[in-house]
């Protein structure tokens, strides 16, 4: 992975993340590099301010385009504003007064952009334990009743972010994407205060039941798959294990044991405050205790019955490739695994340094879900 900040993995990772998403409308290379040039990698506040300033600036440009009824330009500009504001919110301290305001503005930027999509997404609210899980149904243009992939993001992902790249590649293959904020994610966490849980299959089944009941006129309800990226690799696998009605499973970054990921870290890790937030825990020790349940051990992986694709990076520094290798050994279903060799472009966490190696995953999923 290219390090804009030599020797500084996390801020460099975020720059790569934005650059990769820029291919799909989630940024502009020059703007991203301008932001990066204003960041001191040893000062988190400079990261927050640089992305926030650019996000706010681009949001204003989008509003100007909208006021001039230049709706195509407004759409493209709101999408960039969303991603810059999302990045700004990511590392803000939980007690920072700007955090929720920035998240709400980022989400609104995305919603504003969708008003001008050729194929407007359907806003989804899946009832869940006294509240609801929000999401968006993105459908491929000109395809009647397409198969659909239900997808959860990762620790730091928002449902909106799944549109960039993942949504494109699925829709190009005639597959709809139901991008969801599950427990501990996006608006489900920030606005509805629904925290993460090891039995993610409860949320997966709730979403599937809602699809079967409410989307019969929109998608092929006999061809519903499950997917997850990053920490979502655990969530997708868990849902697949306990919900055999899913037709295919796409694991975009494997997680065999999320406890083992964090047991090797400390409370000073850059993401530690975030994982405490999603788990509703005040202490790192409390997080580790809850994470003991986030595992595919003890026969869980063996329960997965549908065709499953595992995508992983050989140089992944967040969830090591051993997670994918161990999971693959325990699968008894039809499956395929692709690990991008360490040192090659696309070998980093969830191919943030190059999405192109993931094309094989989408081709395989398309073959199985259309079958």
Catalytic residue numbers, as ranges: 230
**How far apart, in whole angstroms, are the C-alpha atoms of residue 278 and residue 120?**
30
Residue 107: closest CA among 129, 85, 125: 85
Query: Where are any strands of DSSP class E within the chain?
Result: 122-128, 131-138, 148-152, 176-180, 224-229, 249-252, 308-313, 335-340
Q: How far apart are CA 87 and CA 99, in angstroms?
A: 11
Of residues 255, 223, 258, 251, the one with CA closest to residue 336: 251
Q: Which residues pair with 178 in a beta bridge?
A: 137, 150
CA 203, 209, 215, 220 dihedral sign is positive
The CA–CA distances, whole Å, from 118 to 114, 121, 163, 168 equal: 9, 9, 14, 13
234 in the Ramachandran plot: left (φ > 0), alpha (ψ -120 to 50) or beta? alpha
Identify the CA nearest to 18 among candidates 38, 5, 6, 36.
Answer: 36
CA angle 204, 115, 224 (to 5 degrees): 25
């Amino acid at each position: 992975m290219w390090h804009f900040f030599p020797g500084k993995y996390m801020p460099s990772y975020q720059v790569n993340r934005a650059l990769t998403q820029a291919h799909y409308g989630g940024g502009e290379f020059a703007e991203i590099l301008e932001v990066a040039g204003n960041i001191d990698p040893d000062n988190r506040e400079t990261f927050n301010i640089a992305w926030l300033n650019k996000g706010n600036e681009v949001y204003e440009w989008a509003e100007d385009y909208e006021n001039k009824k230049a709706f195509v330009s407004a759409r493209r500009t709101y999408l960039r504003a969303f991603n810059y504001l999302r990045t700004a919110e990511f590392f803000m301290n939980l007690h920072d007064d700007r955090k929720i305001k920035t998240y709400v503005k980022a989400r609104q930027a995305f919603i504003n952009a969708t008003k001008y999509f050729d194929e407007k997404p359907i806003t989804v609210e899946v009832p869940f334990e006294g509240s609801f899980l929000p999401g968006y149904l993105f459908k491929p243009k000109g395809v009647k009743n397409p198969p659909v992939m239900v997808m959860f993001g990762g620790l730091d992902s928002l449902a909106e972010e799944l549109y960039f790249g993942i949504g494109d590649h699925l829709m190009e293959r005639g597959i709809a994407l139901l991008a969801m904020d599950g427990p501990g994610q996006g608006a489900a966490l920030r606005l509805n205060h629904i925290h993460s849980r090891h039995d993610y299959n409860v949320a997966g089944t709730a979403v599937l039941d809602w699809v079967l009941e409410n989307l019969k006129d929109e998608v092929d309800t006999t061809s519903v798959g499950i997917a997850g990226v990053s920490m979502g690799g655990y969530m997708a696998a868990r849902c697949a294990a306990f919900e055999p009605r899913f037709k295919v499973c796409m694991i975009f970054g494997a997680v065999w044991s999320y406890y083992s990921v964090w047991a090797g870290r400390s409370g000073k890790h850059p993401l530690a405050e975030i994982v405490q937030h999603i788990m509703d825990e005040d202490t790192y020790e409390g997080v580790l205790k809850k994470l003991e349940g986030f595992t595919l051990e003890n026969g869980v992986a063996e329960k997965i019955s549908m065709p499953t694709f595992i995508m992983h990076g050989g140089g992944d520094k967040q969830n090591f490739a051993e997670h994918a290798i161990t999971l693959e050994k325990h699968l008894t279903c039809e499956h395929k695994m692709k690990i991008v060799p360490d040192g090659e472009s696309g070998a980093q966490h969830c191919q943030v340094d190059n999405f192109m190696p993931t094309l094989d995953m989408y081709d395989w999923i398309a073959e199985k879900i259309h079958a």
